[in-house]
A and B are shown apart, each in its own frame.
Chain A
Amino acid sequence: MSEDNLTKPAGSRSKGSVPESAQRILELADDELILGWRNSEWTGIAPFLEEDVAFSSIAQTEIGHARAWYELAAKELGTDADALAFDRDSDDYRCAPFVELRLVPDWAQTIARHWLYETADAIRIKALKASDDPDVAGLAGKIDREEAYHRIHADMWADRLREERRFTEALDSLWPYALGLLDKEQRDRLSEATGREQVEAVERRGHTGELRPLWEEMTMVRRSIPGAAW
């Protein structure tokens, strides 16, 4: 099927028309969806069976969290989670470049991102739990209970690979990206948690060239059959 035959996403909207509060929720949702998608690329090819099951499960819960955030944003925007996840143009996604990077088949980089992401996400979720919006605070609390397992998993790997050159090099190269995940005022806490100096962050505006191919694959069914559900 050629791209021309695919319908224009029904729910696509320009950034300007989305209120700031929904925009912030979409950042979270898009981060979780795209990272969940990237992590799921390891399903079937993770280094060993036990890890394959565990990492796939983590990918699945990230996507579940994305769904929950999309549902919250959808209430405000008068649409639904699937439309937000799949019917926007790739340029309208609000995810950080950090989660877009395709790291398969490099396990050291994958674990470096996983650990940096979970460490940053813990800081972000903690702040969200204190949100004035009870829906946001409530959902952050629920998500945090599942994220606790992700942190156990990420910390165990980081501890195991701490001395590995490939892992520390991966941390070095991904660090500016990881900083871009958080608001500026939260970045000191990430520095503290990871023992790393602040550097210039790869910010959330704009996308890497790696998002588009992911988006093509991820939205293929919805673009072929508008409103497709399964």
Chain B
Amino acid sequence: MIWEVFRQEREGQPFQHGGSLEAPNLAFAETYAREFYGRRDESFALWIVPREAVEEVRDPYVADVFDRDYRRVDGYSLKVKLKEARELAAKNAPHFPREESSAISDLESA
């Protein structure tokens, strides 16, 4: 039976996968986990989980086909949009010098 061992280095920190081991039951798994992940005082706590209890999800992406990058935690970049807006403005109003397209300049300096 395979057991996955997660270790917490210090109290309060997230548990991270340490490795796996083979043992016939929880008593053996715990003893070996202590030896492999606790002998050098390198772990505050361990989680020992039968591998079957771990549900693995492959390709966990939710389809993101439309441009909704504003939903991402890192926000979205203004740079490309500004460039597009500038080019569009230049095309639609060729008789205005660039300096006078104030709305975009304001955005850019913001």
Contact = CB atoms under 8 A, between A and B. Distances in A.
Interface of A: 48-51, 53-54, 57, 149, 152-153, 156, 159-160
Nearest to B29: A50
Given A49-B22, A57-B39, A156 B28 contact: yes
Given A57-B39, A159-B27, A160-B28, A152 B22 contact: no
Contacts, number: 32
B28 A149 contact: no
Contacts of A49: 22
Interface in B19-34: 21-25, 27-28, 31-32, 34
A2 to B, nearest CB: 42
A50 B32 contact: yes
Given A152-B31, A156-B31, 14 more contacts: A48-B22, A49-B22, A50-B36, A53-B32, A53-B35, A54-B31, A54-B35, A149-B35, A153-B31, A153-B35, A156-B27, A156-B28, A159-B27, A160-B25
A152 B39 contact: no
A149 B31 CA distance: 8
Given A159-B27, A160-B28, A57 B22 contact: no
Which of B22, B28, B35, B36 counts the most A-chain CB atoms under 10 A from its CB? B35
Interface string B48-62: 000000000000000
Given A57-B39, A156-B28, A50 B22 contact: yes
State the majority secondary structure of interface residues on A: helix
A51 B25 CA distance: 13
Given A152-B31, A152-B34, A156-B31, A50 B23 contact: yes
A50 B36 CA distance: 9
13 contacts: A48-B22, A50-B21, A50-B36, A53-B35, A54-B31, A54-B35, A57-B39, A149-B34, A152-B34, A153-B35, A156-B27, A159-B27, A160-B28
A51 B22 CA distance: 10
B18 to A, nearest CB: 14
A6 to B, nearest CB: 37
Nearest to A50: B32
A51 B23 CA distance: 9
Nearest to A54: B35
B22 A53 contact: no
Contacts of B23: 50
A50 B25 CA distance: 13
A50 B34 CA distance: 11
Contacts of B31: 54, 152-153, 156
